[in-house]
Structure 1
Amino acid sequence: MSKAFFPKLAIDNIKNNTKTYVPFLLATIGMIAMFYDLCAITFDPALKSIRGGTHLGMVLSFGIVIVSIFSLVFIFYTNSFLVKRRIKEFGLYNILGLEKKHISAIMFFEAIFSLVISLIGGLVSGFLLSKFMKLLLAKIIGNIAGFRFEISTHGIFFTVLLFSLIFLLTYIYTVIKVYRSKPIDLLKGSNVGEKEPKVRWVYFVFGLLSLGSGYYLALTIQSPLQAFSTFFIAVLLVIFGTYALFIAVSIFILKLLKKNKNFYYRIENFTSISSLMYRMKQNAVGLSNICILSTMVLVVLSTTISLYVGVDSVLKNRYPLDVVIVSMVQNEQEMFEKKEEIQMVLKETGAKALDIDEAVKTSFYLRQDGNQLIDEYTGFENNVFGGVIPLDYYNALYQTNYELEDNELLIFDKDHLFTQPELIIMGKPFYIKQEIQSFGKKGDLEVVLGSTVGVVVKDVYSFASLVKQPKNVEDSPVSTKAEFHYQFNIDGSKEEKIAVVNKLNAMFKNQGLDMYADGIENSRDEFNSLYGGLFFLGISLGTIFMMATVLIIYYKQIQEGFEDQKRFKIMQQVGMDHQTIKYSINKQVLIMFFLPLLLAMVHVTFAFPMTSKLLMLFGLADKVLFVLCVMATVIVFAVIYTIVYVITSKVYYGIVKH
């Protein structure tokens, strides 16, 4: 055989299988383009010069890892479909005299040509999209300065390296599969059907338990940190449960329908149910993949959109006023001295403070043990963050006239952590005089890891000396001393407000004053970079997951179309008309399409409590906003999903009809 024989045959094979190869190559090109663009942005030196660029770089690096793993899994999955469609062809080669090493050589050149086409198409697309992606990211984070619109050598290197390795692994896997098969197995490969499956009760029970456990974890989460620590466990349980239920429950339902003779022995129902029963195991796995990918699209997009849209809400919760100056104080006299120093420095800046709010506050982070708060820190479980404000501040704020003794307190406990009348804090008993329904101003009780309570006491200074930080926690950002908070608004532009805060901090440092200033505008770029980066990543991952979902659906329809072709031809020969066949096809395709979408919506609904808690880790506690974002995402996704259904059902019917 000439050296050109195998490459030529490989090219002919790709041309002859365009219906399956072209979608695969297009999807791979899309993934390569997306991966390159993520790398190009992440490795752009200008990223370091952007305010918040460190956070943005971390987010994008995380995205690169996710896309890498997903690309590996997805290309392996789609390659298995391509190989299965052509396994009979390989068997024919073997019968005609080609050895398995010759078949391996053909597959090698097919892999090489596919890789080259994918890399060229993906990198060129990535180059063309790079400017758009950088402009999109710059628009999202509100900062375009510094981005360079040029080809990234780092991006090219890592893209070529990753996808070359993936194609190499898929080639090795395929060769091993061919070498382990006998010629007769290869000839029968694509025609090996499955017997009518029995209900797998182990899968059935496992699916119910797994899915039920995942849902239970999602619904019973009490704190953001619990959500973070159990999220991946719940996700794995739901994934396992989805596969098991699709495999077992779908067969169980179809068998019930088959037993209903009045329903089953109608022509349109008979063909649909028998067709689904014939290959239900593979259908179930495909439907599970579609369901899981759909859930990923909905969760990723809805959460990242919520964070991006809610960034102003997060900032307002953290910074009720434009500027806050914080100083550590131990008594009232020191507080007045600090206040005078602040006013003097503020006067030197020339800024006019408006809507001044001042108060002495403190906080604690302790572990709950029944009605006690202790300093035995054993991890994040059962830990409680407490914001503490003085009684006179609370009474002035809410126009109340509560009175407290030294051993009494008011408590804001929305999670109902403490139900007994006595609360013991660091060994000292306090009597809960009243449970209040509101606490301080925004920012007094920040969204933090674990549960939160608000406490009102008579003397903040003595309380601050009581609550000591857990002994084995180092460098904790939570202060246990009393803090004097001096907050105010400023008239002026964003740049002017940033300048005031910077000037205040410089003057505090020069004068040796133990205090610092912070402002909403100083933090806005950091938050925009973090949340904008997450939103950008959500768009990128959502696009990739959507593309994978569409391709899996398309391949599923082609596979089912070819498998049902002969059966429906027989139905036509025995007298079934085209209208009845089309009705049967539509019913089958409807089930295969919209069952995964419906279950994905159920998954998202049960995941809502957990995902909303996860958003609280990022400071977003606006559940109404999150609900609206979830609903909007579901509606848009359902519309796109329906369009895909209309297109692929025509492809399926076209294959069957011919």
Structure 2
Amino acid sequence: MTFRQLALKNIQGNWHRYIAFFLSSTFSVMIFYIYASFIFHPDVVNGAIQAADKVRHGMIACEFLIVMFSFFFVLYASFAFLKTRKKEIGLLTLLGMTRSQINKLVLYENAAIALLSIAAGCALGTLFSKLFFMALAELLQVDNPIRFLIVPQALLYTAAGFFLLFLAITLITLIGMGRNQVIELLKASKQPKTMPASSGWLAALAVVCLGTGYGIAYTTSANMIVLVMLPVTGLVVVGTYFLFTQASVAILKRLQRMPGFYYRSTRLITIAQLVFKMKDNARILFVVSVLSAVILTASGSVYMFYQGAREQLLDTFPQSIGYAEPGSAVTPSMRPEQVQRSLAESGVQVTGSIETVGIVASAELNTPGPRMSKVLLLPADVYNEAVEPAKGAGRIAIEPGHGLFVNPYRGTEFVYFKKGDILTTAEGEPGAGLQMDGQISGAFLNLPYETNRVVLMNDGDFQALLTAMPEEKKLAYAGYEIAPWEQSGAAVNELKSRLTKAQADRFSDRVSSYLEMKQFSSLTLFIGVFISFLFFMASGSMLYFKLFTELQDDQAQYRSLTRIGVSMQEIRSITSAQIGIIFFIPVLVGGVHAAFAYKALSNTMAFSVWKYGLLIVLIYAVMQLFYFLLTRRAYMKQMKRL
């Protein structure tokens, strides 16, 4: 038998260990090849596909991420496989096989797995690249679909790059293996395990770090999120590490001191073994928990931005179309009759309109630091007319001589006016002396940036003030709600094209911003799903590897249990409980981490993201359940060989 045949026989005999590594590696190669096919596609390189350039840059960044992640993942898997085969390698050495021959054998095995993964990944990438291109063409809204091509440059970069990656990791593995003596390899599985110990102080530190990090994340605001992000991440990571290395052992030992719970059914065996397993697996559980939190937070954030795009734009653009013009009247082409007629030609209906004239003034804002800024004085009835039908808000009534400040930005904590403050304006400016009733947040008109801060007045006071104002102090506004606004891009662009350049600068619409944001969010979500799924497969595979590294020890323990009368059904129950805890504890911990990240994100975005975050966590839990069932099936199949 040649070395190549022996290597293939070893892979075939240990396929239950290699399958998760093979599938994860194949998926990494597939995603890398699909992205590379788009990056090096002739139509993308030549600029024939509109808006593809920004997607190309994003995919290049993802390629680097895939390579770096694959390096550490394959490196971990290689050392995990080496640990399971120490006794085998020691036996081969004892039978006369030289170090160079063993290195040659391992090299052949890793090369075979690498070639199989690369071949399968490139084949699947070619198969699914057409669907990928079709989906991208739909998201980019290009007129012609992206051509299906087998891009030679992408194939070369993928095959050569991953083969070199596997080769480099194999060499690193062989260097690590070369340090072990024969006697160490033979006795690797016989090393006695000491009783795991835990520190009460370090367990308490885990609680303090996690509690502090969660507390900061729960109470942070939009203004503080950037400052607290790194400290919170550091606290949670440190707390998670000590949670698994110290607190988990302390909790299990506490359960052992509860006779009513510990000595019931097979819990004695389950918990006694878990004490050792949790200590042995603490680092991998820590890594998988942090990885799960990253997956859930990143996926949830992208999905929230995608789903929240519409809600954000409804806040930013209260009307589908808005137009502001100096003076007391807007241009005729933006009058209600003309707008309705123009949009009707494209099948778009005007469902509501609002017209008003405001007064532009320079007022002193109190925060941050007193400063002069443009404000627009408007009657309270305009606010009631714009907000009440759309959002069901209660009507605002303002007494004579009073005013109410409207901050257009939700979620900010700047207090520009407190209740009882007096409005101070520049000399000769209108509105001076108004007693402010505080402030409210939220835009209600599509006003230009320089006049988007509004002071609402009593209707009678405003009308008397408006009559005395010169034309240059007035600002006319017309806003329109249309249906269906999401599909009215062409009609709105046609309406805007009838304005002069100066008038078009004062025209604002929700539709163009929505389409641009939707395209960006969809592309980000589309690309991010593949990366998140890659991370998920890798995290599940790490747990799979760790379980199978302990398979021989578990087989010996369960063989002893069967001799003293423990049934196979009870062994199956013990094994399922232990595998389930190892698989789902990281999901639980990562889900809790992500929940507080979602809360911080809610504080930043000023709207609830829980329904989106909960959906992502549920999807992740279901996927982990599927991975758990496959792993348990493979594990129990090996356990039946007792």
- The TM-score normalised by the length of structure 2 is 0.79
Please say if 1:249 is aligned against 2:247. yes
1:165-564, aligned counterparts within 5 Å? Answer: 165-192=164-191, 194-201=193-200, 203-223=202-222, 226-228=224-226, 230-231=228-229, 233-261=231-259, 263-265=261-263, 268-325=266-323, 334-336=326-328, 339=331, 354=350, 355-358=352-355, 372-374=367-369, 389-392=376-379, 395=382, 397=384, 400-402=396-398, 409-410=404-405, 417-418=414-415, 421=419, 433-437=436-440, 439-441=442-444, 455-456=454-455, 486-489=478-481, 497-498=489-490, 500-501=492-493, 504-505=496-497, 507-509=499-501, 515-564=505-554
Q: Distance in 2 between matches of 1:217 and 1:161?
A: 47
- Contact 2:318–2:443 (Cα < 8 Å) also in 1: no
Please say if 1:40 is aligned against 2:37. yes
Q: Deviations over 1:241-300 (max 9, x none)?
A: 222201111110122122335544557233212212234322222333343343344334
Judging changes above 3 Å, is the alpha-carbon distance between structure 1 residues 213 and 94 closer, same or farther for their aligned structure 2 residues?
A: farther
Q: Deviations over 1:183-214 (max 9, x none)?
A: 22222334445422210346424423332333
Corresponding position of 1:630: 613
Judging changes above 3 Å, is the alpha-carbon distance between structure 1 residues 147 and 606 closer, same or farther for their aligned structure 2 residues?
A: same
Judging changes above 3 Å, is the alpha-carbon distance between structure 1 residues 348 and 292 closer, same or farther for their aligned structure 2 residues?
A: closer
Please say if 1:85 is aligned against 2:84. yes
Q: Deviations over 1:599-621 (max 9, x none)?
A: 2332232222123356x3xxxx5
Shift of 1:6: 4.1
Q: Distance in 2 between matches of 1:349 and 1:501?
A: 15
Q: Secondary structure at the match of 1:441?
A: coil
1:615-654, aligned counterparts within 5 Å? Answer: 616=605, 622-623=607-608, 626-654=609-637
Query: What letter is aligned with 2:405?
Result: L
Shift of 1:550: 3.2
Q: Distance in 1 between matches of 2:151 and 2:499?
A: 43
Judging changes above 3 Å, is the alpha-carbon distance between structure 1 residues 495 and 534 closer, same or farther for their aligned structure 2 residues?
A: closer
Q: Distance in 1 between matches of 2:42 and 2:358?
A: 42
Give me the CA root mean square deviation: 4.3
Q: Distance in 2 between matches of 1:430 and 1:67?
A: 62
Judging changes above 3 Å, is the alpha-carbon distance between structure 1 residues 344 and 443 closer, same or farther for their aligned structure 2 residues?
A: closer
Q: Distance in 2 between matches of 1:554 and 1:276?
A: 16
Q: Distance in 2 between matches of 1:49 and 1:495?
A: 25
Q: Which moved more, 1:72-81 or 1:260-269?
A: 260-269
- Contact 1:291–1:596 (Cα < 8 Å) also in 2: yes
Q: Deviations over 1:23-71 (max 9, x none)?
A: 2112100111012222323444656566654554444444334333322
Shift of 1:427: 11
Q: Secondary structure at the match of 2:178?
A: helix
Judging changes above 3 Å, is the alpha-carbon distance between structure 1 residues 322 and 183 closer, same or farther for their aligned structure 2 residues?
A: same
- Contact 1:10–1:109 (Cα < 8 Å) also in 2: yes
Which one of 21, 24, 29 corresponds to residue 26 of structure 2? 29
Q: Deviations over 1:300-352 (max 9, x none)?
A: 4333333333443344333333333456xxxxxx4347646866997899557
Q: Secondary structure at the match of 1:373?
A: coil
- Contact 2:343–2:491 (Cα < 8 Å) also in 1: no
Q: Distance in 2 between matches of 1:602 and 1:526?
A: 33
Q: Distance in 2 between matches of 1:483 and 1:153?
A: 61
- Contact 1:50–1:143 (Cα < 8 Å) also in 2: yes
Judging changes above 3 Å, is the alpha-carbon distance between structure 1 residues 228 and 205 closer, same or farther for their aligned structure 2 residues?
A: same
Corresponding position of 1:69: 68
Corresponding position of 1:379: none
Which one of 8, 12, 19 corresponds to residue 11 of structure 1? 8
Q: Distance in 1 between matches of 2:180 and 2:370?
A: 64
Q: Distance in 2 between matches of 1:483 and 1:181?
A: 83
Corresponding position of 1:123: 122
Shift of 1:445: 11
- Contact 1:390–1:456 (Cα < 8 Å) also in 2: yes
Q: Distance in 2 between matches of 1:363 and 1:36?
A: 58
Corresponding position of 2:151: 152
Query: What letter is aligned with 1:68?
Result: V
Corresponding position of 1:331: none
Aligned positions, number: 599
Could you tell me which runs of 5 or more consecutive residues in structure 2 were left unpaired when the two chains were aligned. Answer: 386-394, 427-431, 459-472
Judging changes above 3 Å, is the alpha-carbon distance between structure 1 residues 501 and 571 closer, same or farther for their aligned structure 2 residues?
A: same
Shift of 1:502: 5.7
Q: Distance in 2 between matches of 1:492 and 1:357?
A: 18
Judging changes above 3 Å, is the alpha-carbon distance between structure 1 residues 644 and 458 closer, same or farther for their aligned structure 2 residues?
A: same
- Contact 1:445–1:454 (Cα < 8 Å) also in 2: no
- The TM-score normalised by the length of structure 1 is 0.77
Corresponding position of 1:580: 570
Corresponding position of 1:464: none
Shift of 1:228: 4.6
Could you tell me which runs of 5 or more consecutive residues in structure 1 were left unpaired when the two chains were aligned. Answer: 328-333, 377-385, 447-452, 460-480
Query: What letter is aligned with 1:73?
Result: F
Judging changes above 3 Å, is the alpha-carbon distance between structure 1 residues 528 and 491 closer, same or farther for their aligned structure 2 residues?
A: closer
Judging changes above 3 Å, is the alpha-carbon distance between structure 1 residues 306 and 83 closer, same or farther for their aligned structure 2 residues?
A: same
Q: Distance in 2 between matches of 1:285 and 1:233?
A: 22
Corresponding position of 2:103: 104
Query: What letter is aligned with 1:501?
Result: N
Query: What letter is aligned with 1:373?
Result: P
Q: Which moved more, 1:48-57 or 1:526-535?
A: 48-57
Q: Distance in 2 between matches of 1:443 and 1:350?
A: 20
Q: Distance in 1 between matches of 2:140 and 2:259?
A: 61
